[in-house]
């Protein structure tokens, strides 16, 4: 499920591309924002499919061993602990997941060799070997291993990371949040499950969807005005020398402060300072903090920023 920090990051990415484009098509930029959100849902489904596919590969390996001309005792009496992993079976056989994959038009059909390489690498890992050798049984044991396998042997696999970058420019930044959704989905699988439950990207009340739409549109609508405010506040800096990413972050912060009466200024300020630490230069957070603090006080005095609600009146 999308959180507001992730929404801010999505908007930041789209606006960064927008301000670098000489055409600056706002309608196209908003479509790109919607597209980037849709790609998150695709990644979520693909990661769940990837986990489920491991069962089929394990079954294929067992069948290949039995068909050898000179099968070993292990080939004839294979260890089926992984194949019988209950949450893995729920994912592998999920009709809900398959239906959603068909709806989105996603799958691993053209990249099965990548999954086979990930499977072979996983089989050689200490976690898999330890799991297969362990005499411990039970649903919780199976689920803990499956989550550990996903975290360590799948999404941290170098081949997978390279593939992620090739398939979508959005997915490297999306991976942490989407992986957490996958893990939550696995944890939600009950022991007697016939199927799984997929998580929605948006909360049912759609507050976050509204937050995204308003923040994006207001950042653009107030863009020229915010630029003038930033230029004035940064009197000792030439506006062209301020990093583009910093200017966008400040424009977003100003739009958020002016557009959402129920979000405390401290929350808005802290959010954009934190984003600057990750996406901009080491000195940006202090610079942005100083400029925004100055502008917020000015806009409050002018009545351009108004906060309502318990704990927000000053």
Q: Which domains does the chain have, with CATH numbers?
A: 4-187 (no CATH), 222-302 (1.10.940.10)
238 three-class SS: coil
What integer pLDDT is reported at residue 300 of this predicted model?
94
Q: At what angle do helices 207-221 and 223-233 cross, to 10 degrees?
A: 70
d(CA 133, CA 87): 19
Each residue's pLDDT expressed in tens, for the chain with a length of 314 residues: 788 999 999 999 999 999 998 889 999 999 999 999 999 999 999 999 999 999 999 999 999 888 888 888 887 888 999 999 999 999 999 999 999 999 999 999 888 999 999 999 999 999 999 999 999 999 999 999 999 999 999 998 888 888 887 777 778 788 888 999 999 999 999 998 889 999 998 887 779 999 999 999 999 999 999 999 999 998 877 666 788 999 999 999 999 999 999 999 999 999 999 999 999 988 899 999 999 999 999 999 999 999 886 555 45
d(CA 33, CA 11): 7
What integer pLDDT is reported at residue 88 of this predicted model?
95
Instruction: Name, in order, each residue with C-beta under 8 angstroms of 83's C-beta and a sequence gap of 6 or more.
Output: 55, 58, 59, 62
What integer pLDDT is reported at residue 73 of this predicted model?
82
Sign of CA dihedral 209, 212, 215, 221: negative
In order of 51, 220, 297, the CA distances from 47 in angstroms are 6, 34, 45
CB atoms within 10 A of CB 40: 22
What integer pLDDT is reported at residue 167 of this predicted model?
78
Q: Yes or no: say if 271 and 42 are a contact pair by the CB < 8 Å rule.
A: no
d(CA 186, CA 154): 15
If we measure between CA atoms, which residue out of 180, 129, 240, 175 comes closest to residue 9? Answer: 175
Alpha helices in 124-205 (DSSP H): 126-133, 139-149, 158-167, 171-187
Q: Yes or no: say if 225 and 88 are a contact pair by the CB < 8 Å rule.
A: no
d(CA 160, CA 118): 8
88 burial type by CB count under 10 A (0-12 exposed, 13-18 middle, 19+ buried): buried
What integer pLDDT is reported at residue 240 of this predicted model?
64
What integer pLDDT is reported at residue 168 of this predicted model?
75
Q: Yes or no: say if 223 and 187 are a contact pair by the CB < 8 Å rule.
A: no
What integer pLDDT is reported at residue 239 of this predicted model?
62
d(CA 177, CA 171): 10
Supply the DSSP symbol for 240.
G
In order of 6, 14, 51, 197, 208, the CA distances from 36 in angstroms are 11, 9, 23, 23, 15
CB atoms within 10 A of CB 239: 12
What integer pLDDT is reported at residue 308 of this predicted model?
83
d(CA 222, CA 17): 18
What integer pLDDT is reported at residue 96 of this predicted model?
97
d(CA 207, CA 3): 11
Which tokens is 311 given? 């704990």
What integer pLDDT is reported at residue 136 of this predicted model?
93
d(CA 198, CA 11): 25
Which tokens is 153 given? 């042997």
What integer pLDDT is reported at residue 210 of this predicted model?
94
């Amino acid at each position: 499920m999308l959180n507001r920090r992730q929404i801010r990051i999505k908007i930041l990415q789209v606006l960064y591309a927008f301000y670098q484009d000489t055409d600056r098509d706002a309608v196209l930029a908003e479509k790109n924002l919607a597209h980037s959100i849709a790609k998150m849902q695709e990644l979520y489904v693909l990661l769940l499919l990837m986990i489920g596919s491991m069962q089929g590969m394990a079954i294929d390996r067992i069948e290949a061993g039995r068909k050898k001309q000179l099968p070993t005792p292990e080939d004839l009496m294979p260890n089926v602990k992984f194949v019988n992993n209950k949450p893995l079976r729920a994912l592998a056989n999920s009709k809900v997941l398959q239906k959603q994959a068909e709806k989105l038009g996603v799958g691993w059909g053209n990249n099965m060799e990548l999954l086979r390489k990930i499977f072979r690498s996983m089989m050689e890992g200490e976690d898999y070997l330890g799991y297969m050798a362990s005499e411990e049984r039970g649903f919780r044991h199976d689920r803990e291993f499956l989550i550990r396998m996903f975290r360590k042997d799948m999404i941290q696999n170098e081949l997978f990371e390279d593939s992620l970058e090739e398939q979508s420019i959005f997915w490297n930044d999306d991976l942490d949040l989407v992986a957490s959704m996958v893990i939550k989905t696995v944890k939600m699988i009950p022991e007697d499950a016939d199927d799984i439950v997929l998580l929605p990207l948006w909360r049912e009340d759609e507050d976050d969807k509204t937050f995204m739409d308003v923040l994006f549109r207001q950042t653009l609508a107030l863009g020229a005005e915010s630029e003038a405010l930033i230029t004035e506040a940064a009197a000792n800096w030439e506006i062209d020398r301020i990093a583009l990413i910093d200017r966008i972050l400040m424009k977003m912060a100003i739009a958020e402060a002016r557009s959402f009466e129920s979000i405390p200024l401290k929350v808005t300020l802290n959010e954009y300072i934190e984003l600057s630490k990750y996406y901009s230069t080491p000195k940006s957070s202090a610079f942005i903090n100083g400029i925004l603090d100055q502008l917020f006080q000015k806009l409050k005095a002018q009545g351009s920023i108004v906060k309502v609600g318990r704990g927000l009146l000053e």
